[in-house]
Structure 1
Amino acid sequence: MAITIVDVALKAGVSPSTVSRVISNDSRISQKTSKKVRKIMEELGYHPNMMAKSLVTKTTHNLGIILPRPAEELFRNQFFSEIIRGIVTKAASSGYDVLMTTGINADEEEAAVRRLVQGRVVDGIIMLSSRQDEHIISFLKDRNFPFVLVGRSEHHADIISVDNDNVAAAYDVTKKLLEQGHERIAFMSGPANLTVSKDRFSGYHKALLEAGFPLRNEYICEAGFTAESASQAAMDLMNLKNRPTAIITIDDVIAFGVIRTLWNNGMLVPEQCSVVGFNNTIMSEMCLPPIASVDIGIYQMGISAAHTLISTIKGEGYGQARIIVPHQLIWRESVSVPDASNVKTTG
């Protein structure tokens, strides 16, 4: 015979409603009682029927994650695996499971979100990127469905988001390179339709203007979030007559691609060109030379996104619409003071 919630309650010496509250992680139940009930559940081999529970409570205890497109590039980038680790860690400790979905284009992505929301498959959604085209945000807002954006929305200032100050982060990197004597600094962006690309470019531009250096279009280029996509962009920069002495890349993966390309073409980092990345992933430490990077607290962003969404689902509210996770510059051997004797021009 299957073990029921009544069996657990009898052995634990509590009411069935108390057992139900323990299963739901109700804050009104003391830690001592919760620990006791869970121990009895384990001893008896009791597993809650979450499907039946969701029919009663009209909750699923599932969180949805909308992965950015294209999905085939997603797990090649440690940013996403690390932020998902933070989300899953917080979700699991709060009694939630996580579902992930995406699409190969905007229409498929929107259809996936509609299935999650209209089918009541999840209680809330975390979006892992922000683009100029924000149909999904409008869809979720219109239905008053709980969601959190990782990033900054250009058109919806009132939504809850978890982000860095990407303008300040790129400004700080550029300013530090300028202070080290670099005057020809290139910026290698991610896809132009991403808000993070625009914000980091703004910070780079601001630092140059303050230092009295003009923005040079030939030093601005775009790459995807793969090492391969950085290769041609890196060569275009290094083939310039007055090539840059430093390159700021929007991601450690791109920085790695730049360093590998320069190395394969007989150019040394940082002797002939300094390279800086973003995200401070494990790759930045393992690369030769180790990559100077901006630590944006990826894991903490995941924790914060899940915590904020769960609080919103529970109706506990949240004091601020935009949560900013601090950044930190991690200077490593991929950056050095520029040596004029090694910075040659090409005809």
Structure 2
Amino acid sequence: MNVTIREVAKKAGVSVGTVSRAFNGYSDISPETKERIVESAKLLGYTPNVNARSLSAKVAPNMGIIVSGLMESDGKDNFFLLLLQGIYRYTLQNDFEITLYATDSKNQNQKPYTKFCMEHNISGTILSGITTNDPYFHELVNGGMPCVLIDIHLEGKGLGCVSIDNYAAAKELTQYLFDHNHRDIMLIGGKKNAAVNIERVASVYQAFHENQLELQKNRVMYCDFNEEVAYQKVSKYLKKYGKSQITAFLCLSDIMALGVIRAIRDCGYSIPEDFSIVGFDGIPLCSYVTPKLTTIYQDINEMGYQSAKLLHELVMDDTMSKNVYVPYKLIEGESVRTL
């Protein structure tokens, strides 16, 4: 069996993060500790994929961003681009590099998270696109490697999260529809096992409860954060029920809202005269939509910046755990009418 970094850390009497920093040339590791780690690795037969001279070199942190499900995204939301821009902005200001890696659920089964990081000489990572049933998600709790997750909250040493307050934002968006006298609402959800979707959906249910209303199961469509899936499901619904059942669509992403807008129009209806609609994310593409979409805006560029900053902190102190919330705001458009 392959020896893990965790076993090396245990034998050397240090944390996994300390082993990682030692193999990546950090200057805050004493020569005695480095020697003990190297000796422990030799005795166990552990060989990291890192040049031997880096053990004594004073190098900048080598950090990575691992994107899961990159091929599943159509790119219209510009999420990964905006996130990368924010990350790069921080790394440029602080003189270290970050490398992009892509994976998916299948590859995660083949190669554990800590092994992936060590083979690529990574001291810590930013993880985006991970879902709650992904192998990496379950490994992170006890992995010991510094990590920042986008939109997923996990408690543990060396773990951090950057997001907006999705629960508060989704509740505010739902209340906005209630304040415009909408009660018959269709919820358009994303991927069932995505943490951000779980949080937003739970908040919508809570908002209904606080208004003495009930969101019935047949008023929830899961559309995988996919425009085409939303288009097909809503088109089928409108052809069957027309305007007889609902007055508004509450979409938990702007991408799905775009699909719903197409479905409404292709079925011969108008926005907001026949149906009101709200989105979530505030993506640039929605600035070209008529009427202007009411949505929750989240600053993805700033989320990227804060994730790089937080990862830097975690790598330097892998005993800490921290969540960072980036401010959001509700952008009012013309896609909701008052009943």
Fold in common (TM above 0.5): yes
Could you list the structure 1 runs, at least 4 aligned residues long, displaced by more than 6 angstroms after superposition: none
Cα distance in 2, alignment partners of residues 119 and 60 from structure 1: 18
Q: In the alignment, does 2:273 pair up with 1:275?
A: no
Number of residue pairs matched by the alignment: 288
Contact 2:208–2:214 (CA under 8 A) maintained in structure 1: yes
Q: Deviations over 1:202-254 (max 9, x none)?
A: 11111111112222222100112332121122224433363321111111111
Cα distance in 1, alignment partners of residues 58 and 233 from structure 2: 51
Give the greater-gyration-radius structure (CA): 1
Offset of 1:129 from its aligned partner?
A: 3.3
Offset of 1:311 from its aligned partner?
A: 1.7
Q: TM-score, normalised by structure 2?
A: 0.76
**Structure 2 equivalent of residue 166 of structure 1:** 166
Deviates more, 1:277-286 or 1:228-237: 228-237
Cα distance in 1, alignment partners of residues 314 and 167 from structure 2: 28
Q: Residue 68 of structure 2 aligns to a residue in which SS?
A: coil
**Structure 2 equivalent of residue 321 of structure 1:** 322
**Structure 2 equivalent of residue 260 of structure 1:** 262
**Structure 2 equivalent of residue 312 of structure 1:** 314
**Structure 2 equivalent of residue 157 of structure 1:** 155
Offset of 1:54 from its aligned partner?
A: 4.0
Cα distance in 1, alignment partners of residues 306 and 217 from structure 2: 37
Alignment of 1:215-230 (within 5 A): 215-230=215-230
Q: Deviations over 1:286-308 (max 9, x none)?
A: 11222111012211111110000
Q: Residue 67 of structure 1 aligns to a residue in which SS?
A: strand
Please tell me the root mean square deviation across aligned C-alpha atoms, in Å: 2.7
Q: In the alignment, does 2:288 pair up with 1:286?
A: yes
Q: Deviations over 1:38-68 (max 9, x none)?
A: xxxxxxxxxxxxx898453375633211212
Offset of 1:312 from its aligned partner?
A: 1.7
Q: In the alignment, does 2:176 pair up with 1:176?
A: yes
Cα distance in 2, alignment partners of residues 135 and 113 from structure 1: 8
Offset of 1:114 from its aligned partner?
A: 4.7
Q: Residue 175 of structure 2 aligns to a residue in which SS?
A: helix
Q: Residue 65 of structure 1 aligns to a residue in which SS?
A: strand
Q: Residue 102 of structure 1 aligns to a residue in which SS?
A: strand
Q: In the alignment, does 2:333 pair up with 1:335?
A: no
Q: Where does structure 1 lack aligned partners over 5 or more consecutive residues?
A: 1-23, 27-50, 339-347
Q: Would the alpha carbon gap of residues 197 and 65 (structure 1) be closer, same or farther in structure 2, given more than 3 Å must change?
A: same
Offset of 1:330 from its aligned partner?
A: 0.3
Q: Residue 199 of structure 2 aligns to a residue in which SS?
A: helix
Equivalent position to 2:250, from 233, 248, 251: 248
Contact 1:131–1:195 (CA under 8 A) maintained in structure 2: yes
Higher relative contact order (CA 8 A, sep 6+): 2
One-letter code aligned to 1:189: G
Q: In the alignment, does 2:85 pair up with 1:85?
A: yes
Contact 2:105–2:135 (CA under 8 A) maintained in structure 1: no
One-letter code aligned to 1:172: E
Contact 2:257–2:277 (CA under 8 A) maintained in structure 1: yes
**Structure 1 equivalent of residue 68 of structure 2:** 68
Offset of 1:264 from its aligned partner?
A: 1.7
Cα distance in 1, alignment partners of residues 166 and 280 from structure 2: 10
